[in-house]
Amino acid sequence: MKTTIRSLFLLLFFAGCSGVKKDVSIKPLWIIAAPSGDQITKIDKLGITVLPNGRFITPGGKNIMTAPHPYGLTLSPNGKVAVTANSGTNPLSITIIRNIMSEHPEVQQVPPGPATDKGVLASVFMGLAIAPDNQTIYVAGGQANKVYLFDVNTGVKKDSIDCSFTSEIVDYSHGYIGDMKLSKDGKTLYAVDQIGFRMVIMNTQTRTLIHSVPVGRYPFGICLSPDEKKVYVANVGMFEYDYIKESNEKDAKIKSINYPAFAYGSKEMQTGIQNDTIAIKGLGDLNAIDAFSIFSINIEDTLHPKVVAKIKTGNLVGALVEGIPAVGGSSPNSIVATDDYVFVSNGTNDNISVISIAKDAVVNTIALKLDPRIKQFRGVIPFGLALSQDQKRLYVAESGINAVAVINVSDQKVLGHIPTAWFPSKIEVSRDGTKLIIANAKGFGSGPNGGATYEVGPDGSYIGSLMKGNVQVVDIPKDEQLQEHTKHVVSNNFQFNNATDSIFNKRANNPIPLYPGAQESPIKHIVFISKENRTYDEIFGQIKNGNGDATLARYGENASFSNRKKTDSVSNTTVMPNHLALARQFSISDNFYVDSDVSADGHRWLTNTYPNEWCETATAASYGGNRTFKEHSKAPGVFAMNGAAGAIYPEDYNEAGSMWDHLARHNVDFYNFGFSIMFEPALYKSEFKYTGIQQFVNFPMPEPLFERTSKMYPTYNTAIPDQFRIDQFIKEFDEKWINGKGIMPPFLTVIIPNDHGAADLPEAGYSFRESYMADNDLAVGRIVEYLSHTPYWKNMLIVITEDDAQNGVDHIDAHRSVLMLISPWVKRDYVGHRHYSFGSIFKTFWNILDMPYLNQYDAGATDLNDLFMTTPNYKPYNALEVDPKIFNPQKALDPFDEKFNWKALKDAPKIDDVEDMFRDSKEQDANRLENREKKQ
């Protein structure tokens, strides 16, 4: 047993302990699981809703549906109208809720339909304000670099304020307008330009831009002091990224490279790389004052606003926090002010910084810890803030635990927590001080998006359109009621059992230890395989002992389909025979859900990184059409909002880092094949077959991953056959751990992404969209066949899952997806019914590897022990051929003799091409409707 790891584990799990306790009899050892048990994900707005992550939500009060992802919220001065800014995949919109305190509020979405009307509202992101006369709504225009004006009563757009400005010194022609605040007299509007790294000041009477004040990196939140002498801006970004170029000359050409430029935190990252052929700008100090900071701006002289203080909040990068060096920054995101203090939510640190207005310095830090039994784990994700009218109470949206924290301002103590719907983002307090108005970005979830009883509505079946948000209006409880509300929040998120309970007796010999260090696992090698975008039903809907809908199994048996042009077809075939054979020979789950909506957050989750408020808001905005990358933009933050990407960025980093940092910190060796290295923007060209893409922006890789990643295995690119990837995998595996002197590491990660799908390319062997599924299926079969015939098989576990489920449909929930476990130690022909999420996978990994948990999502999940057996079956797997009418492997494998048709690569879509996703979703909806009509 590793002594240090064991000590850390005990520290994390003893209730109420302040140090390491070696005698487990002193305090009970708590085993934490998700509260859902065997329940499926379901929406019950009047009772208990079960979320995809196995947690419950029970939002009280009145819940009013909005368009997806309301990350902005404002309340009119008279308290009668609330407005949300909805940054969902489709539409981009605002929702106007009139007479919000009445029993039957009037709700208007602008624009009204499921698709964005670009003539009305081309872009919207977070920022909102309502004029003192309650007649005009100011709406941040995101990448339009404008603020829009709408009529409160009609929802009609009246005008806009252009925030662009250029001079010989600055170029603000491109911007991304976000959070905003309006002066009390309504004459001056203050907003942040997130990619322009500035605060903008506008005159609402002349509807013109007055000033642009440079601030820190990726300004996100803004507030006015009550006396309106200062503006405070929260900078949530870490670095200012730049092009990689051929030289330092002003007009040097952009240059792409095969691999990310440097490791996070390295000397090269800080100072840059320059030689005769390349110039890569350094990113500077990890704790630069422009990053993860609050800027105080004096606005008393309206003609000359001036930054008077730059304040770091939360924990510095590298600082020891409860024994672990902080990997990520504090992520300060939202701000409110009383007469004396400014409160800042630090999204990554799970705390609130208190800044003295008089001193412009941090004077206190308020920790947000829901329960002492999980006090070491981050994941609360504090986001929006609100103050009561009398400044006695501070309310904090705790996005990660679906609650609002109540803080007493006078002694700055947490009084308790109030249950909300999914992912509360912003809060307002009613004008009479009796109610909270809470914007919940993910509402009650998506629900199913297919099946015999599912009726396709105007929004279609795409998950991004189904994730409706809501506005919750709830009574503010009395202080003495908060204890009961807090218990409710705890039980909604976690189930606690004592390790000595009899329910755990049967786990004595299970290959998955009850907790890290409980026993030694016979599993010594884990292979974690990520695929792309599939649901359970479309692959496994026909599995008889699973909870599937056979009518949705478009990639199962007896499938019939045609190409997009309807010029070629195949009937009664099996699209993914290896997936079905593996399911019947090993274990799968029919109650597993991805925590993610799309690939952008999915690839974060797959590294055991929970997306913070920066990632969640940037992802929703990007998928909604707000892709901010402009080739000729001079905005310093043009690369900050990354949208769909297969990697994690420094702005994403959790306080304790990702699984890469976690493994390295505990001296567990690992190696990576194409997983989590696809930064965007990037280049997809014909000559990149060994890397998949090339990078031309100086994004850093997580430090532990930089030297442990294959240089011959291509990352995501659907025009590179998965067959090529598996050949590269086998070649390198043989060289390193079969024919060489090395021993297979305990942990391998592999991406096999072509089940993402792409356009028909018959000349490249992909005659149908299903061809990509067959390519992926054969690759999965081949890698399992290969690994199960190696000497490591007896002690191996292969886990296969998807990064998200957005490109398919499912009759249980749009988040239900694929989880396959392959090992001599898993049950044969078994479908597990316990509720699992991404956290379940990582919890199982850490139990096997004798490592502590990393955050609240793995610590609070249910592990996968039910899928395992105590007596191993060492029989290997032999891959099945795929139907050559669907996919021609040899044609796709032409790169091995260098005659491969590389033109196909140029036509390959980038990850999560939104138009392609909608087109496929609409085609699925049309096909299901056609089949239903034929049956009738």
From CA 846, how far away is CA 662, in angstroms rounded?
Answer: 10
List pLDDT tens digits, range 209-254. Answer: 999 999 999 999 999 999 999 999 999 999 999 999 999 998 899 9
Contact criterion met (CB below 8 Å) for 494 and 860: yes
Q: What is the pLDDT, as a whole number, of residue 691? A: 86
**Range from 575-579, 802-806, 836-840 carrying the lowest mean pLDDT:** 802-806
From CA 605, how far away is CA 838, in angstroms rounded?
Answer: 7
**Where do the DSSP E strands lie in 376-434?**
382-387, 393-398, 403-408, 413-419, 422-429
Q: Token match 């274990």: residue?
A: 587
Given 3-state DSSP classes, what are the helix, strand and coil percentages for the chain, each rounded to the nearest 5?
A: 20, 30, 50
List pLDDT tens digits, range 840-853. Answer: 999 999 999 999 99
List pLDDT tens digits, range 438-463. Answer: 999 999 999 999 998 898 888 888 88
Res. 688: pLDDT tops 90: no
Contact criterion met (CB below 8 Å) for 342 and 232: yes
Would you give the distance in Å from CA 81 to the centre of its chain?
31
From CA 279, how far away is CA 295, in angstroms rounded?
Answer: 31
Would you give the distance in Å from CA 371 to the centre of its chain?
24
CA neighbor of 257 nearest in space, from 698, 748, 841: 698
**When comparing pLDDT for 23 and 359, which is higher?**
359
List pLDDT tens digits, range 472-509. Answer: 999 999 999 999 999 999 999 999 999 888 788 888 89
Classify burial at 404, counting beta carbons within 10 Å of its beta carbon; exposed 0-12, middle 13-18, buried 19 or more: buried
Contact criterion met (CB below 8 Å) for 843 and 863: yes
From CA 769, how far away is CA 775, in angstroms rounded?
Answer: 10
Contact criterion met (CB below 8 Å) for 328 and 653: yes
Q: What is the pLDDT, as a whole number, of residue 121? A: 63
| Residues 6 or more apart whose Cβ sits within 8 Å of residue 725 | 673, 674, 713, 714, 751, 752, 779
From CA 289, how far away is CA 332, in angstroms rounded?
Answer: 13
Task: Out of 188-192, 500-504, 602-606, 802-806, give the one with best mean pLDDT.
Answer: 188-192
CA neighbor of 586 nearest in space, from 360, 395, 828: 828
Q: What is the pLDDT, as a whole number, of residue 898? A: 34
List pLDDT tens digits, range 694-726. Answer: 999 999 999 999 999 999 999 988 888 999 999
The model's confidence at residue 87, banded by pLDDT at 50, 70 and 90, is: confident
Res. 13: pLDDT tops 90: no
Mean pLDDT of the region 536-558? 97
What proportion of the chain, given as a percentage, has pLDDT over 70? Answer: 89
Q: What is the pLDDT, as a whole number, of residue 761? A: 87
Classify burial at 173, counting beta carbons within 10 Å of its beta carbon; exposed 0-12, middle 13-18, buried 19 or more: middle
List pLDDT tens digits, range 669-682. Answer: 999 999 999 898 88
From CA 285, how far away is CA 261, in angstroms rounded?
Answer: 16
Find the distance separating the first CA and the last CA of the chain, reported in whole Å.
Answer: 64
| Residues 6 or more apart whose Cβ sits within 8 Å of residue 359 | none
Phi (first) and psi of residue 634, to 5 degrees: -100, 5
Helix (H, G, I), strand (E, B) or coil at 515: coil
Res. 74: pLDDT tops 80: yes
Domain ranges of the chain: 3-33, 49-241+283-448+462-496, 499-610+654-926
Q: What is the pLDDT, as a whole number, of residue 598? A: 86
Rg (CA), the chain: 27
Tokens linked to 719: 């025009």
| Helix locations, 550-595, DSSP H | 577-585
Res. 11: pLDDT tops 50: no
The model's confidence at residue 926, banded by pLDDT at 50, 70 and 90, is: low
> Which residues face 231 on adjacent strands?
224, 297
From CA 614, how far away is CA 14, in angstroms rounded?
Answer: 32
CA neighbor of 69 nearest in space, from 442, 397, 557: 442
From CA 59, how far away is CA 806, in angstroms rounded?
Answer: 26
Q: What is the pLDDT, as a whole number, of residue 901? A: 38
Q: Which helix (H) or strand (E) holds 787?
A: helix 769-788
* pTM for the whole structure: 0.93
> Which residues face 257 on adjacent strands?
695
Q: Which helix (H) or strand (E) holds 294?
A: strand 293-298
Mean pLDDT of the region 573-578? 98
Mean pLDDT of the region 299-324? 95
Q: Around Cβ 254, how many Cβ atoms within 10 Å?
A: 12
CA neighbor of 433 nearest in space, from 184, 133, 96, 79: 79
**Range from 36-50, 549-563, 610-624 carrying the lowest mean pLDDT:** 610-624
What proportion of the chain, given as a percentage, has pLDDT over 90? Answer: 77
**Range from 80-84, 622-626, 693-697, 915-919 carrying the lowest mean pLDDT:** 915-919
**Range from 242-251, 354-363, 502-511, 585-594 carrying the lowest mean pLDDT:** 502-511
List pLDDT tens digits, range 99-144. Answer: 999 999 999 999 886 554 455 666 788 999 999 999 999 999 998 9
Mean pLDDT of the region 885-909? 56
Res. 401: pLDDT tops 50: yes
Contact criterion met (CB below 8 Å) for 342 and 357: yes
At CA 718, angle to CA 715 and CA 721, rounded to 5? 85
Q: What is the pLDDT, as a whole number, of residue 119? A: 52
Would you give the distance in Å from CA 603 to the centre of its chain?
7
- Going by their DSSP bridges, the two strands 747-751 and 525-531 should be labelled as parallel
Q: Which helix (H) or strand (E) holds 525?
A: strand 525-531
Q: What is the pLDDT, as a whole number, of residue 644? A: 66
**When comparing pLDDT for 16 and 480, which is higher?**
480
In angstroms, how far apart are the furthest CA atoms of the chain?
78
Query: Within 13 Å and on the Cβ side, how many CA atoms surround 921?
Result: 30
Res. 785: pLDDT tops 50: yes
63 secondary structure, DSSP code: E
From CA 123, how far away is CA 116, in angstroms rounded?
Answer: 9
Q: What is the pLDDT, as a whole number, of residue 191? A: 98
Contact criterion met (CB below 8 Å) for 225 and 357: yes
Q: What is the pLDDT, as a whole number, of residue 113? A: 67
The model's confidence at residue 91, banded by pLDDT at 50, 70 and 90, is: low
CA neighbor of 701 nearest in space, from 751, 648, 645, 644: 648
Contact criterion met (CB below 8 Å) for 429 and 438: no
The model's confidence at residue 912, banded by pLDDT at 50, 70 and 90, is: low
Q: Report the CATH architecture of 499-610+654-926.
A: 3-Layer(aba) Sandwich (3.40)
From CA 750, how far away is CA 729, in angstroms rounded?
Answer: 9
Res. 195: pLDDT tops 70: yes
> Which residues face 83 on adjacent strands?
74, 96
The model's confidence at residue 895, banded by pLDDT at 50, 70 and 90, is: very low
Res. 801: pLDDT tops 60: yes
DSSP for 80-146? SEEEEEEE-SS-EEEEEEESTTSSS-EEEEES-SSS--TTT-S---S-EEE-TTS-EEEEE-BTT-E
- Going by their DSSP bridges, the two strands 525-531 and 796-802 should be labelled as parallel
Contact criterion met (CB below 8 Å) for 596 and 467: no
Tokens linked to 436: 């909270």
CA neighbor of 622 nearest in space, from 194, 80, 203: 194
> Which residues face 573 on adjacent strands?
559
Mean pLDDT of the region 271-281? 95
Q: Report the CATH architecture of 49-241+283-448+462-496.
A: 7 Propeller (2.130)
Q: What is the pLDDT, as a whole number, of residue 689? A: 81
List pLDDT tens digits, range 367-390. Answer: 999 999 999 999 999 999 999 999
Q: What is the pLDDT, as a whole number, of residue 599? A: 81
Would you give the distance in Å from CA 877 to the centre of its chain?
34
Contact criterion met (CB below 8 Å) for 721 and 705: no
Res. 653: pLDDT tops 70: yes
